[in-house]
Amino acid sequence: MPYFCYRLSPPRPGFPADMTPEEQAAMARHGAYWAEQVTAGAAIAVGPVLASDGAFGIAILEASDAEAAAAIVAADPVLRAGLGFGHRLDPMPSLLHR
């Protein structure tokens, strides 16, 4: 099966330290959704990255094709909430993991 890298970009540089209550609620739903994807086997790894130039989220997905991966990403509650998060989904031609 193909692999994909999903990157979730925050709505502003100060995120997550300055989350609003609405963003906190959406992020709670986001976390629960991705925990389900890990349990289901669609996500291999998911988590926040606290980079020196700003935080972002990352997930490594396994899906039958790009359309299936895009559907998993499109169902992310934080994107569906329309709060200004950005994202990208890129194919990974191979993946070594334990």
pTM over 0.85: yes
SS3 at position 17: coil
Please tell me the distance from the alpha carbon of residue 1 to that of residue 47, in angstroms, as a whole number. Answer: 22
CATH number of domain containing 78: 3.30.70.1060
- 41 in a structural domain: yes
The alpha-helical segments, DSSP class H, found in the chain are 21-40, 66-74, 77-80
What pLDDT tens digit does each residue of the chain (98 aa) get? 799 999 999 999 999 999 999 999 999 999 999 999 999 999 999 999 999 999 999 999 999 999 999 999 999 999 999 999 999 999 999 999 88
Range of the domain at 75: 3-92
Total number of domains constituting the chain: 1
